[in-house]
Amino acid sequence: MPFTENDLPNLQGRHVVVTGANSGIGLEAARALAGAGAHVVLACRSRDKGERAMAEIRLATPKANLTLESLDLASLDSIRGFAERMSTALPSIDVLVNNAGIMAIPRTTTADGFEMQMGTNHLGHFALTGRLLPLLLAAPSSRVVNVSSLGHRFVHRVKLDDLHATRGYQKWIVYCRTKLANLLFTFELQRRFEAARKSTIAVACHPGFSNTNLQFVGPRLEGSKLMEAVMRWNNTYLAQSAREGALPTLYAATASDVRGGEYFGPNGLFEIRGTPTRAHVARPARDPEAARALFELSERETGVRYDFHAPAPSVHLS
Ligand SMILES: NC(=O)c1ccc[n+]([C@@H]2O[C@H](COP(=O)([O-])OP(=O)(O)OC[C@H]3O[C@@H](n4cnc5c(N)ncnc54)[C@H](OP(=O)(O)O)[C@@H]3O)[C@@H](O)[C@H]2O)c1
């Protein structure tokens, strides 16, 4: 039987954090998780958009247990502040969905000087996960769900000697490298959970090709009406809906047969659309040496060290 939102387990009492929860896949995942009873923290960079997202979710689930929190993944300060607030507000985190992302934008940098796509899609989530680690480890069998992409297949490596693409920036190649980084991070994190004998798992997913805002951000920043029109046509005629695209995320976040280090995507032709199944992992994503090196570089870049034995924060009620 194909997996649908109706297959979500009862999530009452579970705390779930979704980054980029105001739009596209993140909004659909947050809505479904809240509908299944979870307390969902919507981690958004825009308060206005976050409030509109909460109102939309409450249309479907009037009693949804939602918290809106500011998080800008393009700022290590913002990430630290978010994690500090979480550690006083929550006893633990059952699922962290590292979903937020940007695609193929002109080269800019984050508050910390990171190239924006790598800084947001990979390094921001790397820093966030490391800072939330005590809360994740405080929940039995908690999950880190990283949202990657079919795009990871189009590159051979993450350039560790030029992570911020200072030489010859190519916006699509850099995006694909960030999505390869998402998978390398997932598999290395899973190895480290296992080595530390923790029940927390790291898994990944991708939404195939889904009709969201992702495709329009780059053309709008470039002021290209033509590319915006091309993207709109593609999204209208080729993509599946954001709701369908969120299913692999929901499966990875909640299904009982999910194991650490697995990767889920749509089951249709070329994994572009369909219901969740185990997805193809390209060979460069399965390189443990590349994954270890990226993990260590990410610790140095962000200044966030992963401590798998840190005590759980003493707290709190949500
Ligand atoms: N749609 C697809 O076909 C597709 C395919 C493969 C992979 N993906 C992946 O799916 C994930 C979700 O994307 P989507 O398609 O749902 O796109 P989307 O509708 O554009 O949503 C992206 C979300 O990320 C947020 N975001 C961007 N930069 C951020 C930052 N610095 N700090 C915090 N939040 C930030 C956005 O916030 P704002 O609204 O404020 O900009 C938005 O909430 C991404 O990781 C993407 O790479 C999507």
pLDDT in tens, 232-247: 999 998 999 999 999 9
Q: Residue 171 belongs to what domain range?
A: 5-207+241-302
The reported pLDDT for the residue numbered 295 is: 98
Count how many domains the chain has: 1
d(Cα 118, Cα 107) in Å, to the nearest integer?
Answer: 11
Residue that the structure tokens 């954090």 belong to? 17
For residue 310, being part of any structural domain is answered with: no
The reported pLDDT for the residue numbered 311 is: 75
169 catalytic, yes or no? no
Task: Give distance in angstroms: CA of 120 to centre of ligand 1.
Answer: 10
Which atom of ligand 1 is least distant from the CA of 45?
33
Cβ–Cβ contacts within 10 Å for residue 18, how many?
32
Q: Which residue stretches of the chain have pLDDT < 50?
A: 316-318
Task: Give distance in angstroms: CA of 26 to centre of ligand 1.
Answer: 7
Q: What's the predicted TM-score (pTM) here?
A: 0.97
The reported pLDDT for the residue numbered 318 is: 38
Q: Which of 169, 175, 263, 306 is catalytic?
A: 175
For residue 312, being part of any structural domain is answered with: no
The reported pLDDT for the residue numbered 55 is: 98
The reported pLDDT for the residue numbered 87 is: 97
Task: Give distance in angstroms: CA of 311 to centre of ligand 1.
Answer: 32
Q: What residues are in contact with ligand 1 under a 6 Å CB criterion? A: 19-20, 22-26, 45-46, 49, 71-74, 99-103, 120, 147, 149, 206-207, 209-210, 212-214, 245
For residue 139, being part of any structural domain is answered with: yes
CATH number of domain containing 48: 3.40.50.720
Q: Is 255 exposed, middle or buried (0-12, 13-18, 19+ CB in 10 A)?
A: middle
